[in-house]
Amino acid sequence: MTDAHPHSDADFVSGAKARLPGAFERPLIHRMMPAAIVAALAVPFVYSAVAFGATPARFIEGLTRLGNILSFMFPPHIWTTWQEWSEILEGLGETVVMAFLGTLLGALAALPLALLGAKNIMPFSWLRLLSRRGFDALRAVEQIILALIFIRAFGLGPMAGILAIAVSEIGTFAKLFAEAIENTSRKPVDGVKASGGSNMQAIRYAIMPQALPVILSIILYNFESNARSGTILGIVGAGGIGFLLADRMHAFRWPEAWSIIFLIIATVYCIDAASAWLRKRLI
């Protein structure tokens, strides 16, 4: 039977290979590409490691110290007097309060601004684009820089932190709210208009009922994220638990510092759980 075929299998395969090289193996340049990309990405990393003095000796020393610090984690430090506890709990409460009020104020200020930036409400494109750029500029300022500025004006304490959260959230909220408002359906608006409603009534009865669940969920999400990041505001003195944490760290009271970190994590868990419950109830 084999004699009937002039070509053996090997010949057939090599013939096919000659005709369709791409079907058998990828061209060299494609095979080299991943390696080349990895190498190109690794060069700046290695350079930075050298430039930043990441020598093995320094790593060993640093990791030994880190291990030392981590060993203070267990058993966790438990404060014995109510005075110490109340200080820590006040700090934690202050962080939560700052996140709550800051997020709320930011949302209240952002809602009217969002209407300016929404395509289906604001007919003048120049005003819309202007307000959008304004939101971008506001978002570009770091919360901690705002906190530093507000500390100069309002003094050390939670007020500076609340205002920093509020102002930095205005930009984020206004952008996200505007997008939520733009993503609503036009049909209810037409309905309100057809039955003789004014523009304000169309916003109130046709757009807001659609956008409000999304807006609430954005607010809750940002509240969670502010409760997490609120810790760092205290490090610069804008109120909250961060101040106590930085203080313990600077004094090398690591067992207490770890306990504070654990309490922060526990608080964040509670807030996440509460906001998940609230989200389920409201939306």
Partner 1 sequence: MTDLSLAIRNFETDYADARKSARRVQAVSTLLFLSAVLFSAYVGGFFAFTDVTLPSGERVSMLKIWAGLPRLGEYLEKTIPTLRFATLGSDLAEWFWRWETWLRLLWETILIAYAATVLGVAGGFLLSFLAARNLSPGRPVSVVVRRYLEIIRTVPEMVWALIFVFCFGVGPLAGVLAIGVHATGSLGKLYSEANENIDMRPLDGIKASGGNWFQQMRYGAVPQVIPNVISYTLLRFEINVRSSSIIGYVGAGGLGQEIRTAMSLQEYTDLSALFVIILFSVTVIDFLSERLRHRIIGISEHWT
Supply 62's token pair: 């640093």
Nearest residue (CB) to partner 1, 110 versus 192: 110
Q: Cα–Cα distance between 282 and 270 in angstroms, integer? A: 18
- Asked if 163 contacts 154 with a C-beta cutoff of 8 angstroms, the reply is yes
Instruction: Give the residue from 143, 136, 149 showing the smallest Cα distance to 165.
Output: 143
Nearest residue (CB) to partner 1, 16 versus 108: 108
Nearest residue (CB) to partner 1, 207 versus 268: 268
Closest CB 180 distance from partner 1, rounded Å: 20
Chain positions contacting partner 1, by CB under 8 A = 41, 44-45, 47-49, 51-54, 58, 61-63, 65-66, 69, 93-94, 97-98, 100-101, 104, 137, 140-142, 144-145, 148-150, 152-155, 157-159, 162, 228-229, 231-232, 235-236, 239, 242, 245-246, 249, 252, 261, 264-265, 268
Closest CB 26 distance from partner 1, rounded Å: 10
Closest CB 194 distance from partner 1, rounded Å: 29
For the chain, state the CA radius of gyration.
29
Closest CB 155 distance from partner 1, rounded Å: 7
Q: Cα–Cα distance between 277 and 65 in angstroms, integer? A: 41
Closest CB 114 distance from partner 1, rounded Å: 21
CA angle 228, 232, 233 (to 5 degrees): 105
Instruction: Give the residue from 101, 92, 91 showing the smallest Cα distance to 219.
Output: 101
Nearest residue (CB) to partner 1, 202 versus 220: 220
Closest CB 249 distance from partner 1, rounded Å: 5
The secondary structure element, H or E, covering residue 248 is helix 241-250
The 10 Å CB-count burial string (b at 16+, else e) for 255-275 is bbbbbbbebbeebbeebeeeb
Nearest residue (CB) to partner 1, 109 versus 159: 159
Supply 90's token pair: 């006040």
Nearest residue (CB) to partner 1, 202 versus 248: 248
Cα 166 to chain centroid distance, Å, stands at 16
Closest CB 261 distance from partner 1, rounded Å: 6
Nearest residue (CB) to partner 1, 7 versus 26: 26
Cα 184 to chain centroid distance, Å, stands at 25
Rounded alpha-carbon distances, angstroms, from residue 132 to 75, 127, 193: 51, 8, 27
